[in-house]
Amino acid sequence: MDYTYSFLFTIRIRYSETDQMGYCYYGNYAQYLEVGRVEAIRNLGVVYKELEKKGILLPVSEFSIRYKSPAFYDDELTIITKIDRITGARIYFSYVITCEDKIIAQAETTLVFLDKLSERPMQCPDFFHEKLKKYAK
Amino acid sequence: MDYTYSFLFTIRIRYSETDQMGYCYYGNYAQYLEVGRVEAIRNLGVVYKELEKKGILLPVSEFSIRYKSPAFYDDELTIITKIDRITGARIYFSYVITCEDKIIAQAETTLVFLDKLSERPMQCPDFFHEKLKKYAK
Amino acid sequence: MDYTYSFLFTIRIRYSETDQMGYCYYGNYAQYLEVGRVEAIRNLGVVYKELEKKGILLPVSEFSIRYKSPAFYDDELTIITKIDRITGARIYFSYVITCEDKIIAQAETTLVFLDKLSERPMQCPDFFHEKLKKYAK
Amino acid sequence: MDYTYSFLFTIRIRYSETDQMGYCYYGNYAQYLEVGRVEAIRNLGVVYKELEKKGILLPVSEFSIRYKSPAFYDDELTIITKIDRITGARIYFSYVITCEDKIIAQAETTLVFLDKLSERPMQCPDFFHEKLKKYAK
């Protein structure tokens, strides 16, 4: 199923997240995307913490990112998180990170719904599809 | 120019690098790849720290990774870092991360030789190509 | 000079900041305190980024923390940051971190005003004291 | 019981661990100390991972550190970890971090033996005391 849902969240770059090049370290973006995802689904009414309590894990299976422009200490980044598609056990997010009017990075991740007990992939739960219903393409 | 150089380095997963899923957090792999790159070029006789002192930065412009199997606290990961190609200002690395006989992740990064003063891309320096000469395809 | 200034800021614990014990990793609090400090001085009208541009660095010289209760993924922490004292080149902050009505941690840091060029300690700048004037004990 | 056990381990500072001041970020030392502790007890024959599998957690309850000299990217740090004392449920470590002949930092941590199931402090297990027997003061 394809969706058109997107959500915007802002994050300020911490001093700890800079490197000696003076840039936001390239490895920190994975954390920002995670925050983007968590807030995007919270806004739909799905609290990731509660998912885990129900025995559903959502690890990342693929991640790719293109860095367009460096970001700096204290910059306020806007993370636009989109849910593009859910097929079986997989959910596909895409992201645009901007700072003021500049594109900082573009990224995609694939996550897998995993049954905590069996450690096996499982279908995306119905209540999750339900929350996204009005954003179906 | 295409190259066949590869280098192997091991990293033990720190407690700080785990998450509450009990896995090594997906965002930490970017750090491990960076360590893999730095040690791979050190083994060629190029110390990244010295590159920066010469006014040459090497930021990452693209990064993609596929997580094949989770890794856990205290696991000793083997990072196989390959230099695949250098074209103009770009250098392409690829990586395989294994733990015992299991593939943990496969990744690619593109980095750009950047002149620190002008903040503009620059050709890969000759001495760097020179170090790789015997690995030319 | 002793001061009574305090400032409150909230931070939500990221997934990346948990460990396999299910706790917020003990090493991450240093980052939270840094965010607390930066926001506390921003609220006074001092932007840390601008301090550095003026050639003034503020590294930490001492840090101590007592962990009273674990904090968990997605918890919203309240960081109460106090400026207790400035003497010569040193500034003393203390912190209380709470979550709902529970004390999570108590901490203190000492930072040193450092002249970027000479790399030597320098007196706390007058404009900084000025901002704190009305909070003098 | 007081002990005289100490263990030396080296860690190279990663690029991700630097900040825009060009220093190793002050918050990263907590990770280095954790690695120091883990390797110190591994050298005694206690694998921390196995402790957790036996249902024994060892969270940090207090941590203090004095930064004597900045450390930089690619520096090889020596972490000297000492077990100073075990009293009831608490174990006291102290640390000296050096780089070449310079002292970088001195630190202390208190950790608590915690029963995973009851989440209550527990006496340091006998086999742990046993491993340290020959280092008793």
How many Cβ atoms from other residues are within 10 Å of residue A4's Cβ?
A: 12
Quick one: average pLDDT of C58-85? 98
How many Cβ atoms from other residues are within 10 Å of residue A110's Cβ?
A: 18
Question: Rounded distance, CA C110 to CA C94, Å?
Answer: 9
Spot the catalytic one: A19, A75, A84, A101: A19
- Express each pLDDT in C75-117 by its tens digit: 999 999 999 999 999 999 999 999 999 999 999 999 999 999 9
Quick one: average pLDDT of D27-31? 98
Question: Rounded distance, CA A133 to CA C65, Å?
Answer: 47
Please choose, from the candidates B124, B137, B53, B36, the residue with its C-alpha nearest in 3D space to the C-alpha of residue B88: B124
User: Within chain C, where are the H helices?
Assistant: 29-44, 48-53, 126-132
- Express each pLDDT in B15-45 by its tens digit: 999 999 999 999 999 999 999 999 999 999 9
Interface test with chain A among C12, C14, C28, C33, by most A beta carbons within 10 Å: C14
Sign of the dihedral through C-alpha A102, A104, A106, A109:
negative
For residue D22, give the DSSP letter.
S
- Express each pLDDT in C9-39 by its tens digit: 999 999 999 999 999 999 999 999 999 999 9
CA B100, B101, B103, B109: dihedral to nearest 10 degrees?
Answer: 70
- The total domain count for chain B is 1
Q: Are strands C114-115 and C120-121 parallel, antiparallel or unpaired?
A: antiparallel
- Express each pLDDT in D96-130 by its tens digit: 999 999 999 999 999 999 999 999 999 999 999 99
Residues 69-98 of D with CB under 8 A from A: 72-73
Question: Rounded distance, CA B46 to CA D75, Å?
Answer: 16
CATH number at residue C117: 3.10.129.10
User: Is C30's Cβ below 8 Å from some Cβ in A?
Assistant: yes
CA distance D21 to chain C (A): 8
Nearest to B57 among A21, A28, A59 (CB): A21
Domain holding B47, by residue range, is 2-135
**Contact (Cβ atoms closer than 8 angstroms) between residue C33 and residue C96:** no
pLDDT at A30: 98
ipTM computed for the complex: 0.96
A119 falls in which pLDDT band (50, 70, 90)?
A: very high
Question: Which tokens sit at C94?
Answer: 């203390």
Please choose, from the candidates D133, D128, D135, the residue with its C-alpha nearest in 3D space to the C-alpha of residue D45: D128
User: Is A60's Cβ below 8 Å from some Cβ in B?
Assistant: yes
Question: Rounded distance, CA B75 to CA A110, Å?
Answer: 24
Quick one: average pLDDT of A26-33? 98
